[in-house]
Chain A
């Protein structure tokens, strides 16, 4: 979230699309209601009428996988292509975005493809802006030299042209949403938040990300929010409702192949030393002289990270042991999909599944289960039994033929240990230990342990083996790792929290105190910081993440709660907040002020970068100040922004869809940058427009269960509420199929041809779409069920992800589990 949960209450209009917030983030509705009490409109756009839709002022259905078409129409409306009136926040768009930047004249979009495509790979250089001899980007300017939107080669004019194709008729012909409903949504959203003092927000989740156009779904909304001046302001932003308690923190600490803690790029083979890394892993030049380009500080953060990793072994004269870090091959992807392919083909032989249940959570879970069976060993760490740890006796598996050794280690639950987690609004909050982890009642030596204690025991055991083996392969990073914790029986989470924050170091590398904030980190080895983003989370005067001062609405009307816990970066509660003020530093809306310029400094939230306003009190542009979007290379919001699959979004059909051609009328059916692996027996794909699997399906979660249900299915009170797998379908489809409400049915896809067993919920909340003159049915399945709990029964084929494909977005590689094709038959 650029903003945070409480801030939703500041909105004038709320769009919930790509998420089902009432269902999956019920407490968010406390703040949705707060906004509504103040007159905000609530809009729900979803293929299915949901618990969220039940409370909305406007509900609009759309076919799964057509969000870009839906929102592309909204962009067209904003730009005047539908009612002839532009509905943009003009000053914001001109001053704070790249709308005025000039595109090269050879840039093109032709028959569904942008310039620069070879195979499935775009050359992003083909989308570069025009520059002068000094490398400064050329802009559309008016007679006074101010940025304008008029030059035919500027981004704004390209945007107008590109989205002029997204007429109500065209969009409706893609999405299945009635034209009058489209217009109603566009008007309700845009007309309530394009004014400078109004704010609209978007609440989205995996309903947008889990598509072959997932990242571009979010880009489309980001463009809308920039055009409407909604980013940086209270009640605005682009807000991903994250689904796991610490998926934000685990992403910040980068348990991911492509990034190191604090979103530093993972070293590649071609970056052969630290100097090369520091030159290559960040933008060096910006093309915009007023851009602060925050990532230029990468070398400070990298040196501090390496000091935290390798301690006194890391010094300037040995590149801080940069060579000890594992490197990826440039251009090769090591994400979830390729990982399981590598496991399936035998490259990956050992595996940790630490607090995750891929046998149910992964797209194409059948292939995942077969891949697990090819491992030599699997270590699973959990608080309850899972389908992953038990995969060898799951549905259709023959234990005798599976040679994987499995270790199941029992872990402590959240109330049995101490530490911090980071919520979707970037608040790192400390939690305390209440009781010891459980002990086996029959054997007091058997007990669950905190994860950090398990990691410690494992690492020390591995290290001992390497110490004992003089001929071991490259033991240096293991033997040299800074691992100096745990000198007593208690696990000192606080010690780790301080290491993440970082220390000032003396000349021999001993800590002299905690670094106060990341602006004080150094490149020369005099500071450590495990994660620069978390620098300031733990200061000499205490643990900021443990703060418990909720603010008084009288003095904090927008609910920043700046002294409750701590939030990254540097306790800034609303990111890009320097766009919440005009060029003089005055809030667009004084009553919802995030920051304001007093003439001498900023007051309010921690300002983004802290530079003075763009103009002085006399209205003249200042020298030496910075544009508000400090994390972006050019310092401005990127209406035109390079992604792997294009600089602006275009509607493409999902990998599996009811249409063999793109209803947009060009010949590019599928996102051209998507990698589709060769189809094999474990990776089948339904043919577009085919008759075998004619029904659109989406997967989703339920209020009563969490993710694969591997914690909640074990909670009897929750399993009482949602006991078993179901599929929701319209009354019309049920009638066609001879299915009655409550019948047992099978849901089949190209990857699960025998079918997933489910109870039919026949509902008015799904309605067939009429698209391109054809009836398109849609159904939906939850993915929170399995066969281990609430009762062990390997005859139950009930996981929704057995149906989903594992092909996904070219930017993120997240699989397309929100739009795929199935058939439904009554179980006989």
Chain B
């Protein structure tokens, strides 16, 4: 769903104005260019998304453009007028989605807190992944039971648990449960119970 804004507008903007308001909203985008949009959506790349907050499943359109360094950044997110549930509208959380994509507090660094430490230290991904993998193996091997107290096959570990995640995509949920169940976890829980 990569459309230029012009392609997108062909179907959405005009009908949206009329359909949503029913109030004779009748400026014609093709003719009215005397005033430029404060965000240059004309040059933007437009993708569709679904809101990551509640489970209404509202559609949004994301406009992205290159910043001064040539990196693609999100310049605008607002409701998807074609979406049958929210029809272009949003709540306050949905209206703030821009600040999820553009936020100086986003985590971008792998951090490690050693036992007893009072501060984080940085690790590279290449350092962190083997460290975690080793801990998974050590804990699994130390706690894995092929049979339970009744002598029945269980092939599980009670030494590792997992919480999450209703924030993952379906494909990631599938992959995550596959990973966890291959390790032998049964303590698998997520937001449905909390």
Q: Does B36 contact A (CB under 8 A)?
A: no
| Stretch with Cβ within 8 A of B (4 or more), from A381-389, A632-640, A661-669 | A381-389
Bound: A432/B63 CA distance, A: 12
Indicate if the CB atoms of B148 and A269 lie closer than 8 Å. yes
Q: Complex: how many Å from CA A261 to CA B174?
A: 8
- Chain B binding surface, main DSSP class: mixed
- From A249, A256, A531, A717, give the contact of B96 (CB < 8 A): A717
Beyond A328-B186, A478-B182, whether A245 also contacts B91 by CB under 8 A is no
Contact of B164 among A355, A403, A450 (CB under 8 A): A355
Indicate the size class of the contact surface on chain A: 35 or more
A420 / chain B contacts, CB cutoff of 8 Å: 169-171
Given A325-B181, A402-B116, A704-B92, A789 and B105 contact (CB-CB distance below 8 Å): yes
**Contact across chains for B166 and A435 when beta carbons are under 8 A apart:** no
Residue from A326, A499, A500 within 8 A of B186 (CB atoms):
A326
Instruction: Find B163's partner among A260, A354, A413 (CB 8 Å cutoff).
Output: A354
B159 touches A348 (CB 8 A): yes
Question: Which of A26-34, A506-514, A590-598 is the interface stretch?
Answer: A26-34
B residues 146-173 with Cβ under 8 Å of A?
A: 146, 148, 150, 152-173
Q: Does any Cβ of A come within 8 Å of B10's Cβ?
A: no
The residue in B122, B123, B129 that gathers the most chain A C-beta atoms within 10 A of its C-beta is B129
A415 near B128: Cβ-Cβ < 8 Å: no
What distance in Å separates the Cβ of B40 from its nearest Cβ neighbour in chain A?
A: 16
Q: Which residues of B pack against A, CB within 8 Å? A: 1-2, 45, 47-59, 62, 64, 71-74, 77, 82-87, 89-97, 99-101, 103, 105-118, 120, 122-125, 128-137, 139-144, 146, 148, 150, 152-194
Q: Which residues of A contact B165 (CB under 8 A)?
A: 250, 255, 354-356, 451
Which of B58, B97, B144, B171 meets A474, CB within 8 Å? B144
A162 contacts the other chain (Cβ, under 8 Å)? no
10 contacts between A and B (CB under 8 A): A28-B56, A255-B164, A325-B181, A352-B180, A409-B128, A423-B55, A466-B137, A499-B174, A546-B1, A707-B191
Asked if A354 and B171 sit within 8 Å, CB to CB, the answer is no
- Report the nearest A residue to B73, measured CB to CB: A435
Question: Is A439 in contact with B108, judged by CB distance below 8 angstroms?
Answer: yes
**Contact residues in A for B90 (Cβ distance below 8 Å):** 27
Identify B189's interface contact among A256, A269, A429, A704, CB under 8 A. A256
B161: A residues at CB distance < 8 A: 339, 342-343, 348, 350-352
Q: Which of A348, A409, A550 contacts B160 (CB 8 A)?
A: A348
A356–B176 alpha-carbon span in the complex (Å): 14
Chain A residues with CB under 8 Å of B82's CB are 548, 550
Q: How far is the CB of A545 from the nearest CB of chain B, in Å?
A: 8
Identity of the chain B residue whose Cβ is nearest the Cβ of A466 in the assembled complex: B137
Chain A residue contacts of B101, Cβ below 8 A: 413, 415-416, 434-435
Given A247-B166, A347-B159, A411-B107, CB of A241 within 8 Å of CB of B91:
no
Q: A6-B85, A424-B56 are in contact. Are A432 and B169 (CB under 8 A)?
A: no
> When chains A and B are docked, how far (Å) is the Cα of A376 from the Cα of B132?
11
Contact of B56 with A309 in the complex, beta carbons under 8 Å: no
Contacts of A326 in B (CB 8 A): 154-157, 181, 184-186
Q: Which residues of A contact B134 (CB under 8 A)?
A: 465
A441-449, A672-680, A748-756 - interface stretch: A441-449
Which of A153-161, A220-228, A454-462 interfaces with chain B? A454-462
- Whether B52 pairs with A414 at a CB distance below 8 angstroms is yes
B172 near A327 with CB under 8 A, answer: no
Query: CB of A477 within 8 A of chain B?
Result: yes
Contacts of B153 in A (CB 8 A): 269, 272, 323, 327
Known: A247-B166, A451-B172, A717-B96. A334 touches B186 (CB 8 A): yes
CB of A411, distance to nearest CB on chain B (Å): 7
Residues of A within 8 A of B139 (CB): 349-350, 376-377
Bound together, the chains give a CA A361 to CA B193 distance in angstroms of 10
| CB of A394 closer than 8 Å to a CB of B | no
Query: Which residues of chain A come closer than 8 Å to B183, judged between CB atoms?
Result: 462, 477-478
Q: Are the C-beta atoms of A266 and B191 separated by less than 8 Å?
A: no
A203 vs chain B, min Cβ distance (A) = 12
Q: Is the CB of A408 within 8 A of B168?
A: no
By the criterion CB–CB under 8 Å, are A356 and B164 in contact?
A: yes
Instruction: Please name all residues of chain B whose beta carbon is closer than 8 Å to the beta carbon of A813 when the two chains form the complex.
Output: 193
By a CB distance below 8 angstroms, the chain A residues around B132 are 377, 379, 407, 458, 461
Q: Is residue A796 contacting chain B, with contact meaning CB distance below 8 A?
A: no
